Structure 1
Amino acid sequence: MPLTDHGSVRRHQFHERLGVLHGNHLHRTLKERFPAAFNTRWTRRHWLHASLFATVGALLATIVPGFSSQLQPALPLHATLPLSLPPQTVRPPLASQPGQPWDVLQVQPGQTLGGLFQSMGVPAETMHRILEQPGNRETLTRLRPGAELAFARGEDGALLGFRFDRSPTQRVELSLAGGKVREKVLERATTTRVAVAGAEIDHSLYAAGRKAGLSPAAIAVMTDEIFSYDIDFKDVQPGDRFSAVVEETWRDGERIGSGRILAATFTTGGKTYTGFRFERDGKAQFFTQDGRPLKKSFIRMPIPYARLSSKFGARRHPVLGSMRMHKGVDYAAASGTPIMAAGDARVQFVGQQRGYGNVVILDHGRGHTTLYAHMSRFGKIKRGQQVAQGSVIGYVGSTGMATGPHLHYEFRVNGAHRNPLSVTMPPPEPLKGAELAAFRAQAAPALARIESMEKLMFATAAAAPQDKPRDKRG
């Protein structure tokens, strides 16, 4: 065989190898599984075709982008790559910078300033340094539940800043860095809105008022100023109801308190009483819907929580033992109990009068005077001074001819004594003319608000009678 015939030599060697495998299992498998081209003798045409296919495949893999990548296993769509980041910048504690983080505490009932500072790990010495700042002690020693205190501390726990509200419009920020206390006062804008609050009483007026959103001070105005002359609040029953138009103070979108009562109604015993705030002669008073003052000219009992111990009229004198005319009434009370002026008046006399001991006489005008005797001491009054109804003019005692501490109270009309318990009191002066017109213009919108709210509130209450106490604010 010529050595130059490389094709013949290769075919000869191939057939020799096939012959060796002809009788074994591998040869049979190849014959079954591979095409006939691999089981027969390859001709020149077979080799040309194989070379052509190999060349075309190589060209495709080189020219067509992504063709070869499709032959590789798929890689994940997401990968985490380690990146080299710049070193973290170390900042000083934020408590020493504007915008520092604050730990805010809300005062709970029974908590004290000292307890709050102790809970934050702030020593008492630091607290006293804060209290020594002008204007801080009065606010911080009279904290009410709900007030907020804020503390800013450094990494070592030392107090760097302290914040509190001195008033609804002032926030105080103290900086304690560097061993000195520096104060910054921030003015906080507030707005005033008018709202209507109302409720039906279930257990107590106070509880219903608080549930309706009234402050304790606003409830006291209703009971002690507006309706005190017409309603005995000890007799208020479940089912009685009230409504009030109040001013509310808002700050940063938050309601922070209620202010003045502009109008109020109270329904008890099937009768509705009304009161509207109006300033007359520069002084705020409450009037009925037709412009008559709710405040009576005189209060019947110028001493609270006292017991009537002797009536007006003839009696045997407890000291002299003889029958004498008792020209006033006596109220037994503990020594030192405050005595109030029965009405607006001018102080006519302050001093001693024989058996009356320490005496105060008030002139109320239009011929009406009142006398208060047996006082232990006088209030801060002097002759000629104007005093308002309810002002403290003295204190219960037993000076003069008295067997024990009590108040002797007389009521005189043009010098003649009258029984303080039954005398017809002079009515207060109603609004007239331009004042009455201005009052009506002011009262009408407030009354409309109350009527609108009550229609809504009690219509809802009628539909759901099980919901008590019922309250609504609008």
Structure 2
Amino acid sequence: MIFSSNKIIKIIKKNIEITFLFLLLLITISSTNIYNEKKVLIDENYKNLINNIYFQKSINEIFDNLVPRYKNIDHKISSGETFDKILNNYSIPNEEINQIKKKLNSDYNINNLQPNLEIKITIDQSNNKKITSFLFPVSRTEKIQLIRNLDNNLFEKKTIITNLNKKIIFKEGKITQSLYKTAIDLKVQPNVIIEFARIYGFQVDFQRDIRKNDNFQIMYEVFEDDEGKVFETSNIIFADLKLSGKNNALYYFEKKGSEGHYDENGKSVEKALMKTPINGARLSSAFGMRKHPIDGFNKMHRGTDFAAPMGTPIMASGSGLITRARWCGGGGNCIKIKHNSTYETIYAHMKNFARGIKEGIRVKQGQIIGYVGSTGKSTGPHLHYEVVVNGKKVNSQKLKLPSGKTLKGKEREIFEVEKIKLDVLKSELIIG
């Protein structure tokens, strides 16, 4: 026995690596068997737990509490959107939509949606997406609120009016890059900048007349709520664009029948046509003979081209009747306006027309009629602008236009008093 044991020990010592591998294999097999037995037991317990009805109820309760019961929606109205389309986008049931429409239609045309105003909706997600609250903007200062009465499941309506306070804002700045950027940096509202450019558009070419370090002043009205939030802007009551050291002050005169902006001598800035119908554009091709960029041969260019980014607004250079608003072959989308028996203007290569613009309607001077594009025979986004005088196309940049009215008599006396008041008000706002 001793011999046998010693012999075995010697054999193991001689084959130590094989012996070690054999033991490792035994341990691995044993461990795997134990793991598999326990895994089967764990899986069985897991299945029993998952299928347990009390466990399922507990999980459902937890997840129900994680998802908010009420969902708030703030939707800003875009141009062209309809009432039904907006609510359908949020998967609101037709029954709910019809109830809301029936309640609102009694005092407001819901098809007349004003862009950029917000509809606010609160939905009960646990109750078939029922609307609990609906706030509809009639205007910036008036809203209709519908609240669901949980007792009878009907909507109760009330009108909310926001009281506004008029405030005068004064801003001044030095133009370093562009008038628009300088004004935006001073927190002047974009629509006020557009109006500022419009009233100076009769006498100033914003691409060529403005130089670095020219100055401007602007005084305008805003309407705020009690918390100081600006709801809307109103008239520019004073403006001054100082070009190459020369002042060009304008005063707003609000007497009925003579409303508008006048220089310090009581002369209206409005002329038959604006100097340019687009702001911030570059004169890319002047009136006269040139080599056509597409046709490749010399021909008369009977208009003025203004290069500008795609989508830049185009204004009516004068008030008048739209006689054409359609596709014009090489001119792409184009508009023709008859201003009076003497003047007509043409605007070509538009990307599209502004909302509501069509043949047969009247437009006001400075009204946006379309947007810069590259339709028709065009090598890039630009506006092709033509002025027709007594049936003949002329160079718009050299055209001498008749000035607007000059205040006289009693109106001039009233204007002089109003001008002094505005100068005093400006001084007070500058002093602070």
TM-score range, shorter chain: 0.5 to 0.7
User: In 2, Cα distance between the equivalents of 1:169 and 1:304?
Assistant: 34
Structure 2 counterpart SS, 1:429: coil
How much does 1:419 deviate?
2.0
* Structure 2 residue 317 is the aligned partner of structure 1 residue 342: yes
**Partner SS for 2:337:** strand
Instruction: Spell out, residue by residue over 1:219-245, the C-alpha distance to the aligned partner (whole angstroms, 9 max, x if none).
Output: 5433x3344554849968679463415
Q: Please name the residue that 1:25 is paired with.
A: none
Of the three residues 286, 289, 309, the one matched with 2:264 is 289
Once superposed, what is the RMSD of the aligned Cα atoms? 5.2
Q: Tell me which amino acid in the other structure corresponds to 2:267.
A: R
**Aligned residues of 2:337 and 2:346 also touching (Cα < 8 A):** yes
- Between the aligned partners of 1:324 and 1:413, the Cα distance in structure 2 is 21
**Preserved contact between residue 306 and residue 383 of structure 2 (Cα < 8 Å):** yes
The correspondence for 1:182, drawn from 130, 144, 156, is 156
- TM-score scaled to structure 2, two decimals? 0.54
Who is 2:277 aligned against? 302
**Do the aligned partners of 1:170 and 1:186 also contact (CA within 8 Å) in 2?**
yes
- For 1:221, what is the secondary structure of its paired residue? helix
Asked if 1:382 corresponds to 2:355, the answer is no
Distance 1:208 1:296, change over 3 A: farther
Give the alignment partner of residue 315 of structure 1, picking from 273, 277, 290. Answer: 290
The structure-2 alpha-carbon separation of the partners of 1:315 and 1:346, relative to structure 1 and needing over 3 Å to count, comes to same
Residues of 1 paired with 2:427 and 2:348: CA distance? 48
Show the 5 A alignment for 1:207-286.
Answer: 209-210=186-187, 215-222=189-196, 224-228=197-201, 229-230=203-204, 232=206, 240=215, 242-251=217-226, 254-257=227-230, 259-266=233-240, 268=242, 270-279=245-254, 284-286=259-261
- Give the C-alpha shift of residue 449 in structure 1: 0.9
- Match of 2:421, SS? helix
SS in structure 2 opposite 1:181? strand
Q: Which has the larger radius of gyration?
A: 1
Pairwise CA distance, 1:378? 6.8
Residues of 2 paired with 1:182 and 1:350: CA distance? 46
1:418 alignment partner AA: V
- Contact between 1:333 and 1:405, CA under 8 Å: does it hold in 2? yes
The amino acid that maps onto 1:286 is: H
The alpha carbon displacement at 1:286 in A equals 2.3
CA deviation profile, 1:328-384 (whole Å, cap 9, x unmatched): 23446788876543222334566788876776543334733333456687773325x
**Does the 8 A contact of 2:302 with 2:393 survive in 1?**
yes
Q: Deviations over 1:414-455 (max 9, x none)?
A: 44443223333332333344443443344432222112332x
Mapped contact 1:113–1:140 kept (Cα < 8 A): no
Q: 1:162-182 deviations in whole A, cap 9, x for unaligned? A: 889864355747354323331
Q: Which residue of 1 aligns with 2:301?
A: 326
Q: Which amino acid aligns with 2:250?
A: G
Tell me the residue number matched to 2:337.
362
CA 450–331 in structure 1, closer or farther in 2 if over 3 Å, else same? closer
SS at match of 1:412: strand
Match of 2:415 among 423, 439, 447: 439
> Of 195, 202, 219, which aligns to 2:168?
195
TM-superposition CA deviations, 1:106-163 (whole Å, max 9, x none): xxxxx9638xxxxxxxx9979x96994637996998449xxx9999xxxxxx997788
| Number of residue equivalences | 319
> 1:427 corresponds to which residue?
403
Distance 1:163 1:428 in 2: 46
- Whole-Å Cα distance in 1 between the matches of residues 136 and 347 of structure 2? 47
CA distance in 2, matches of 1:321, 1:243: 47
CA contact (8 A) 2:169 2:220 kept: yes
Q: What do the CA deviations read for 1:289-313 (whole angstroms, capped 9, x no partner)? A: 3222334432344356655443322
For the pair 1:450 / 2:426, whether they are aligned, the reply is yes
Residue 368 of structure 1 aligns to which amino acid in structure 2? Answer: Y
Q: Quick check: 1:113 aligned with 2:90?
A: no
The answer to whether the Cα contact below 8 Å between 1:159 and 1:176 also exists between their aligned partners in 2 is no
SS in 1 for 2:388: strand
CA distance in 1: counterparts of 2:381 and 2:137, whole angstroms: 46
The answer (yes or no) to whether the contact 2:204–2:275 under 8 Å persists in 1 is no
1:205 aligns with 2:185: no
Q: What SS class does the counterpart of residue 113 from structure 1 fall into?
A: strand
Tell me, in whole angstroms, the C-alpha distance in 2 between the residues paired with 1:113 and 1:448: 44
Gaps of 5+ in 1: 1-110, 115-122, 152-157, 458-471
Q: 2:170 is aligned with what amino acid? A: A
Gaps of 5+ in 2: 1-71, 76-89, 124-129
TM-score by length of 1: 0.50
Q: Are the counterparts in 1 of residues 121 and 133 from structure 2 also a CA contact under 8 Å? A: no
The 8 Å contact of residues 121 and 134 in structure 2, kept in 1 or not, is answered as yes
3-state secondary structure, aligned to 1:195? strand
